[in-house]
Chains A and B, each alone.
Chain A
Amino acid sequence: MTDVLTEDPGRAPQRLDGPDKVAGTARYAFEQPVDGPRYLHLVQAGIARGRVTGTDTSAAEALPGVHTVLTHENAEKVNAGGELAVLQSPEVAFRGQVIGAVLAETPEIAAHAAGLVEVTYERHPHEATFGADDHRAQSPDTSSPMVTEDLDQGDVDAALEAAEYTVDVTYATPPEHNNPMEPHATVAVWEQGELTLYDSNQGPYVVRDVLAPIFGLDPERVHVVSPHVGGGFGSKGMPHAHVVATVMAARLTPGRPVKCALTRAQMFPLVGYRPPGFQRIRLGADATGRLVATEHSALEQSSRLAEYAEQSAGASRDMYVSPNRRITNRVVALDVPVPTWMRAPGEAGGMYALESAVDEMAQACGMDPIEFRVHNEPDTAPTSGRPFSSRNLVTCLRRGAERFGWAERDPRPGVRREGDWLVGTGVAAASFPSFTIPGSVATVGYADGYYRVEIAASDIGTGARTALTQIAAEALEVPLSAVRLHLGSTAQPKASLAGGSSGTASWGTAIVQAARAFRAEHGEHPPEGAETTTKSEPDPEAGTYAMNAYGAQFAEVRVHADTGEVRVPRLLGVFAAGRVVNARTARSQFAGGMTMGLSMALHEHGVVDERFGHVVNNDFAGYHIAAHADVGSVEVDWIDEHDPHVNPMGTKGIGEVGIVGVAAAIGNAAHHATGVRVRELPLTPEKFLTGR
């Protein structure tokens, strides 16, 4: 074992791409040097549902510097469905859908010309919003591997009837938009039957595998290059419409690169979002505060163009004991853009509702919310009966309580005031599944005194480039400086996408297995040019254990007595997420998740205007995300957890568990501060003004 892994953030390696990133010289998709590019600007539907009856492109085409105006009338026919069936028909499925694109010599000309395209429509009635008891609710298509079936164990209704304490509450969450700082962008070069995409994504092979069949191309002739990605949070997990449009434009102009970057406003309808929803939770507890019934029914928005079914109610499957349990996820399909994954899809919203309801239940039982959770801690996964590979939620809660000073907490709501501010504290649990996706391929080679490690992983800001280099160095038992890791391109062997917090586990497993095979094949002193490529094998223990990362989130909240302004001076998260590969970057990722959770709790809200069918506040002035001044102290801690079952490194994902539970902890603290229980995110000032 080398010293490349350390629990000490101060000693953990700094990001290997750090010097380039602080100078701004790390090249993101749009910045890849290409010769003589043209620029593509998208034209978007001005109605929410109907069909395009006419497109007058003459004014746009008359502008000097305009090369082509693409519409459904002249675009090539491709083999795609859903949001990727770009310009294939005059049908409009949501406002903001791509209905054209202008290719021009400069970005200024392209944008100007896009505004000159005159479109006429036949408007059809549309539906863009829904309610908690919506008659349009339907079961999602459970044939999708992402969708779980309803669960109904025991007799929930009878148990609720017999329960000593009950809670029946509905929590509402708004549309939330991923909004990575780097807008989605792609540069397409079509030359001699080869397509090269410099693209901002969470998995180069995903882009290749999706794009190649759409255009009928041999995947080997599609090259995707993505060395640096400016965040994604799920929205870059799958290619979106602009990539298809850009490839179409590139295929019209062989040899001339085509650059397309979405505007911030275009990102709102075109790259997915966390769907809004209503979650009803019914809990029943016996006289000792032990849960006897848990019902979690989630109703969330989907799109008529393609189904996306968030699994928010799944959060309640294995969290706490409860002999009677009913879990349902329903969707309402509307004439809106297709939602997608956003950091901890399902858990972020689901655990907000569950952990808020649990706080209400603890209060109903007259119990401390930490003790209530400990009292309801299961020994095995409640719905499957499987053992946990490791579960240290209670340790997280206990350690957090000690560090946060929980013992001194007066449980009464609305009784603390410092100056003009009402002060409260809250807690919530976090959980996120640990995925290790098999099938990633890694190559280890040796030349010029360096070990070359290749895998088409993605570093979207997670620190994967650094962590995987460490894992390789450890597996090869060489210093960090002896490893050269290459990722982010289909020039490297195939890897799974950066999603589901599975990256380090999945790619790391592939690297460890390749490194072991390399040593087995070539020994401690490999010959120049030695090389081994292996594909990672499935974890033999997958399916045997319930595998999850856990955490305890603590928040201090201040609510202004006069104005209702909500501030969060302190967050503390204590996590149990297996082995930590790089304490420096891991701490950042946990803190980043918590910060996004704070943002979700206080600010984020895509406002849909039913009349037009679009998100009205489609910029950063209207759609607020937390700024520097919103974020006070964010403390991160984790416990030393050894889980021999999850994967060879013993790591669990850390990218998403950090956001889970934060909004609940903040909402619970806001209630503790004010006595006002707000059951609708975000926690904006007006919601605390009632009666003041």
Chain B
Amino acid sequence: MDAEIALRVDGQRRTLSVDTRTTLLDALRERLGVISPKKGCDHGQCGACTVLLDGRRVTSCLTLAVAHDEAEVTTAEGLAEGDRPHPVQQAFLEHDGFQCGYCTPGQVCSAVGMLDEVKAGWPSHVTENLEEEPDLDEEEIRERMSGNLCRCGAYTNIVSAIREAAE
């Protein structure tokens, strides 16, 4: 069953027809040709499909496109300002925070969303005192980024990249 929806993807309004079954991830990749979010597991278990949906990081594989008519979607591709990569992306380049690159756009979006969550004062599982502003040390970054798997094992470089970008 098809439905007409509109999405604002990386700043551009796009209208499209989707099967009600189409996930936000497949709508982006197969209907709109936006390939930046990746399909790594399709079950919310790897984080490669992470996008910012109305500003929040989410796994786009577990949400239906039809439920997000008129939503704002930002992918890693849309984070750059023109030719200038986003500071998180720049830090990934400098710290070699990736190898095969497949989990990378998801890691980048997740990091950007996560930094906003920290700014908003959100605690994490490893935050000692839930009532204080979290201090974004390596342990905090690791916990908050754990929804993004990387099989190449670039974790330590990703953490240093995010540390630098957070400063």
Contact = CB atoms under 8 A, between A and B. Distances in A.
Contacts of A17: 101
A108 B27 CA distance: 11
A23 B152 contact: no
B155 A24 contact: no
A183 B49 CA distance: 13
Interface stretch (A389-397, A409-417, A527-535, A622-630): A622-630
Interface of B: 19, 21-22, 26, 29-30, 33, 35-43, 45-46, 48, 75-77, 79-80, 85, 89, 92-94, 96, 98-105, 108, 141-143, 145-159
A462 B158 contact: no
Interface string A26-47: 1110110100000000000000
B19 A108 contact: yes
A181 B150 contact: yes
A9 B104 CA distance: 20
A233 interface: yes
Interface string A570-600: 0000000000000011011101111110010
B42 A263 contact: yes
The 8 closest A-B pairs by CB, nearest first: A461-B100, A24-B36, A595-B153, A230-B102, A24-B105, A21-B101, A592-B153, A620-B45
B105 A23 contact: yes
Contacts of B22: 108
A22 interface: yes
Nearest to A229: B100
A22 B98 contact: yes
Contacts of A50: none
A233 B76 contact: no
Contacts of B150: 181, 628
Nearest to A259: B30
Nearest to B29: A31
Contacts of A228: 100-101
Given A14-B96, A628-B158, A22 B40 contact: no
A22 B89 contact: yes
B89 A181 contact: no
A109 B26 CA distance: 13
B100 A629 contact: no
Given A180-B100, A229-B100, A628 B152 contact: no
Interface string A192-231: 0000000000000000000000000000000000001111
Contacts of B103: 181, 230
Interface string A597-637: 00100000000000000000001110001111101111000
Contacts of B151: 179-181, 231, 233, 596, 625
A183 B149 contact: no
A77 interface: no
B152 A461 contact: yes
B93 A22 contact: yes
A18 interface: yes
Contacts of A460: 100
A592 B154 contact: yes
A107 B37 contact: no
Contact of A620 (B37, B38, B43, B75): B43
B156 A107 contact: no
Considering residues B37, B43, B143, B150, which has the most beta carbons from chain A within 10 angstroms of its beta carbon?
B150
Given A22-B76, A108-B19, A620 B99 contact: no
A17 B93 CA distance: 10
B156 A230 contact: no
A181 B40 contact: yes
Considering residues A9, A17, A181, A632, which has the most beta carbons from chain B within 10 angstroms of its beta carbon?
A181
A179 B102 CA distance: 12
Interface residues of A, number: 64
A26 B98 CA distance: 13
A479 interface: no
B76 A23 contact: yes
Contacts of B141: 628
Contacts of B158: 628
A106 interface: yes
B14 to A, nearest CB: 17
Contact of B46 (A22, A107, A620): A620
Contacts of A593: 153
B159 A628 contact: yes
Nearest to B110: A628
Nearest to A25: B77
Contacts of A181: 38, 40, 46, 48, 100, 102-103, 149-152
A580 to B, nearest CB: 14
A231 B36 contact: no
A60 to B, nearest CB: 16
A26 B100 CA distance: 10
5 contacts: A15-B98, A23-B80, A24-B108, A108-B22, A108-B26
Contacts of A31: 29, 35
A182 B38 contact: yes
A18 B93 contact: yes
A21 B158 CA distance: 14
B77 A106 contact: no
B63 to A, nearest CB: 15
A19 interface: yes
A600 B75 CA distance: 32
Contacts of A587: 96
B43 A621 contact: yes
A28 B143 contact: no
A463 interface: yes
Contacts of B48: 181
B9 to A, nearest CB: 12
A29 B4 CA distance: 29
B41 A264 contact: yes
Contacts of A430: none
A629 B142 contact: yes
A629 B154 CA distance: 13
A588 B157 contact: yes
Nearest to A28: B102
Nearest to B46: A620
Contacts of B85: 19, 22-23
A42 B22 CA distance: 19
Given A230-B100, A634-B156, A24 B37 contact: yes
A566 interface: no
Nearest to A631: B155
A596 to B, nearest CB: 5
Contacts of A107: 26, 30
A25 B85 CA distance: 13
Contacts of A512: none
Contacts of A28: 35, 38, 102
A91 B67 CA distance: 44
B32 to A, nearest CB: 12
Contacts of B76: 22-24
Given A14-B93, A230-B100, A587-B96, A621 B153 contact: no
Nearest to A22: B89
Nearest to B144: A628
A619 B149 CA distance: 13
A594 B76 CA distance: 28
